[in-house]
Structure 1
Amino acid sequence: MTVSSDTLRWFDAIRLEDLPLVGGKNASLGELYQALSAQGILVPNGFVLTARAYDDALRDAGAWPALHALLYGLDTTYIALLAQRAAQARQIVYAATDSAPLREAVAGAYRRLEAQYGAGVPVAVRSSATAEDLPAASFAGQHDSFLNIGGAEAVFDACRHCFASLFTDRAIVYRANNGFDHFKTGLSVGVMKLVRADRAASGVVFTLDTESGFRDVVLITGAWGLGENIVQGTIDPDEFYVHKPSFRQGHRAVLRHVLGGKQLTMGLAPDEGGTATRNVPTPEALRARYCLEDDEILHLAGQAMLIEAHYSERAGHPMPMDIEWAKDADDGRLYIVQARPETVAARKNVAMLESYALKGSGRVLARGRAVGEKIGSGVARIVASRDDLKFFRPGEVLVAPSTNPDWEAVMKTASAIVTDHGGRTCHAAIIARELGVPAVVGTDAATRVLRSGQAVTVSCAGGESGTVYDGAIPFAVSRVDAGLLPRPRTPVMVNLGNPDLAFRTALMPCAGVGLARMEFIIS
């Protein structure tokens, strides 16, 4: 057991109950490290500068009145003023956290990490707010984190930047839109040994199907290099499904493999400040290969199910999870670097059957991965960069190479979202699910095929594949409360011709979903 305090805590002294002190991300890391390491879950060791340290630093520096003055009554739709006030707030926090006690605490803790892992051990420095990874709000991508930081002074500086990122433009807008008080939201900073996934692979695991909410599968996404490309939606990752009941019965096989484009690989590039990240084109030979072998996929699935079982037991009810994994190039092992409750599909009311159906047809402009099951239509607006956001109007269809956390305020007003790149676990997909906006991600060419001002219809009602049609096609919406439907004595099962509909069909009031008839497959 390492020495901890209310200012600095080590992972082995943190549990889920410590969320008010260390934030959602760090509370979960401590829970994983302390409760599940003995069961084979690998979590790199680390320490946390707590929200108490943040509060004390700002109080001692007399920073709170200035922050209140900057943010009181701020209209977050006034983008120029928001940017100005947010920058000033970050400067105040960065200066206030430059305290001797914090500097000494970080230096001492980093020396202990060096004693465990070696001199100059590279670390990840990650923000963790006290109002994140909550059932109603994920706070995905709102605060800053830094990778491959080495040396006590560089680590301390990164910690100060993390504290300051509580007041990024996007975080201020997100809190305002979701009803969180800026001054009742604290921030802690976690420092953990870096997993060298830059020379291996990383990704995300969900312990349910993210679109239908079907809970009998594990969905794993992955790509070469650091996982930020998956989150940002700049690449199309590999996808793998594992069936939980079969896995538990000893029939351990990968249900489905989907080869992603994996267009870029994010690695580490040294710079004057220590390190930075860089994207390079992925070699064709690696693009043609899955980033995980089947035994690794099944290992991750088993770990994900173990984590889900632990969190469900703690919660007293089923708790689907959203988990980050990384493979270390140095030792070849798979590490869990984050686990949080899944915040959207798990809250879906599966008894209320809502279905969307097109009432016409149109020319297909693009196809990709469907996010959600809805249909939306409107005028397309190509947004190639943040500068283009000023042209976007509420009710339009946002079309972009990928999305950014800074765009959340605009995404909230879109009738649909379409991206060139990204998978089911990218930022665009996560935010679209939270907002209930239909999205088609990973189309490859939407920004080249579509044009601003063009009327389009975005349909996610056809299973896992989403489609963008030319023109405004009428559609119908039906809602049925399955809980009110009478059940026959005879078990009624469903036979499908389109396997992409299997997960969502299994949630309907039926006794099961069967294999497609052979004539469907042949024809």
Structure 2
Amino acid sequence: MNPEYVVRLNGGAEAAVDPAQVGLKAARLTELAREGVRVPEGFAVTAAAYREFVLDSRLGPTIAQAIRRFRAGRELAVAAAEIRSAFRDAWLPPAVVDVVLAAYRELGGDGTEVAVRCSPRTPSDGVQDEVFLHLDNAQDVLAACRRCFASLFNTVALGNREALAVDHIQVAMPVLVQRMVRADLGGSGTARGESTFVRVRASWGLGEPPPTEADQYSVHPGPRPMIVKHRGAKPAKTVYADPYGVRTVPTTAAERTAFVLADQDLQELARWSVAADEHFRRPTTLEWAKDGTSGELYVLEARPGVAPEIVVRARGRSVLEPQLG
């Protein structure tokens, strides 16, 4: 497999991962995997693959022409749409197709559900980036890669680069492909910051309700961990909807009255948070999910430098539980 076009996410002691090639999301997840944090299996389609696609499909002149028309007075949204349409209509070069399909086959191939999303190389590239869920065949994976490449030319990203005088031909968009996690529960906002406690927010489903409705936890990791729990109202949850979307449904009475996370899950998340803070040398917010089939937790994204969220006391009672194990 050509390492120029695909880089695997794994825990192996390989050479340093270059964010300029695999993007920030993929690079951070790969680094955490090597620190022992569990991340979904997958691979990154690199910036080199993007550039080979642009070169092979002769998209450079299309980009340049659309930009010239915009600078001559054409609407930005029209120029951006013209470029994206050209990207979606183009074919990936055979060299890129071969390595992407080989990497997908390593995950299981057709019938294996994956998530495909952009892995921007800079924060400004990641505005309105694309995410495709539950793709289960090679052709859909390849199409999603093209859509992610095209998202580099959404209206906001294009406008940002124009304002910053960034050369549109020199940019690139890596793509992250990972095995789907069946998220029966999830959350975000895990970080230590200046506190000795790790703060965790958790909800049923995809973990997307307002913060005040989610369960809130503070975990003091160590040989004798201390866990503080604030149970949220959790009136609804976000779940996957066929074929590729999401929807909001009411929670059951049992879900509303139960805490989302078990103590062992909280302790695992706390360990991962400490590992992330120490690895990136700054407070790091993690997004995570628990797979309802395997029962395992996974980190889906890491954002170093994002300030820890203030834990809001949710409706309900709080519980202080010293753990003696």
TM-score, normalised to structure 2's length?
0.83
SS of the residue aligned with 2:4? coil
Match of 1:120 among 99, 111, 116: 111
SS at match of 1:290: coil
CA distance in 1, matches of 2:111, 2:256: 33
- The answer to whether 1:172 aligns with 2:158 is yes
**1:177, distance to aligned residue in structure 2 (A):** 6.2
Correspondence for 1:20: 20
Conserved in 2, the CA contact under 8 Å of 1:16 and 1:27? no
SS of alignment partner, residue 134 of structure 2: strand
> 1:366: which partner in 2?
none
Matches of 1:331 and 1:464 in 2, distance apart? 31
1:432-483 CA-partner distances (Å, limit 9, x unpaired): xxxxxxxxxxxxxxxxxxxxxxxxxxxxxxx968xxxxxxxxxxxxxxxxxx
1:187 counterpart residue number: 173
Query: 1:142 pairs with 108, 123, 128, which one?
Result: 128
Q: Tell whether 2:268 aligns with 1:299.
A: yes
Partner of 1:493: none
**One-letter amino acid of the counterpart of residue 25, structure 1:** K
Task: Check 1:320–1:179 CA distance in 2 against 1; reply closer, same or farther (3 A cut).
Answer: farther
Equivalence for 2:41: 45
Which protein has the larger Cα radius of gyration, Structure 1 or Structure 2?
1
Query: Could you say which residue in structure 2 is the equivalent of 1:507?
Result: none
In the other structure, the counterpart of 1:341 is 304
Equivalent pair of 1:129/1:185 in contact (CA under 8 Å): no
Q: CA deviation at 1:107?
A: 2.1
SS in 2 for 1:126: strand
Identify unmatched segments of 5+ residues in structure 1: 313-318, 347-423, 426-462, 466-523
- Does the aligned pair in 1 maintain the 2:134–2:180 contact within 8 Å? yes
Determine the structure 1 residue equivalent to 2:191.
207
Asked whether the 8 Å contact 2:120–2:126 carries over to 1, the reply is no
Task: Judge conservation of contact 2:211–2:312 (CA < 8 Å) in 1.
Answer: no
Partner of 2:8: 10
Q: Partner letter of residue 290 of structure 1?
A: F
Q: What count of residue pairs does the alignment treat as equivalent? A: 310
Unaligned 5+ residue runs, structure 2?
Answer: 314-325
Is 1:331 aligned with 2:303? Answer: no
1:216 matched to 2:216? The reply is no
Match of 1:67 among 48, 63, 67: 63
- How many angstroms apart in 1 are the aligned matches of 2:188 and 2:135? 23
Counterpart AA for 1:104: D
- Offset at residue 174 of structure 1 (A): 4.7
Cα gap change, 1:464 to 1:112, in 2 (>3 Å): closer
Equivalent positions of 1:235-246 (< 5 A) are 236-243=213-220
1:280 maps onto 2:225 in alignment: no
* TM-score, length basis structure 1: 0.53
Pick one of 203, 216, 226 that aligns with 1:253.
Answer: 226
**1:143 is aligned with what amino acid?**
D
Structure 1 residues 235 and 88: alpha-carbon distance in aligned structure 2, compared to 1, 3 A threshold: farther
Report Cα offsets for 1:479-513 as digits up to 9, x if no partner: xxxxxxxxxxxxxxxxxxxxxxxxxxxxxxxxxxx
Structure 2 counterpart of 1:107, which letter? L
- Asked if the contact 1:127/1:187 (under 8 Å) is kept, the reply is yes
CA-atom RMSD, angstroms?
3.1
Identical counterparts, % of pairs: 30
Q: 1:332 Cα deviation (Å)?
A: 0.7
Quick one: distance in 2 between partners of 1:97 and 1:263? 45
Greater relative contact order structure (CA < 8 Å, 6+ sep): 2
> Aligned partners of 2:119 and 2:4: how far apart in 1?
16
Q: Do the aligned residues in 2 keep the contact of 1:42 with 1:334 (CA within 8 Å)?
A: yes
Cα distance change on mapping 1:301 and 1:113 into 2, 3 Å: same
Matched residues in 2 for 1:180 and 1:262: separation? 44
- In 2, the alpha carbon distance for the partners of 1:141 and 1:224 equals 27
SS in structure 2 of the partner of residue 287 of structure 1: helix
CA offset at residue 97 of structure 1? 4.7
User: C-alpha separation between the residues in 1 aligned to 2:111 and 2:216?
Assistant: 35
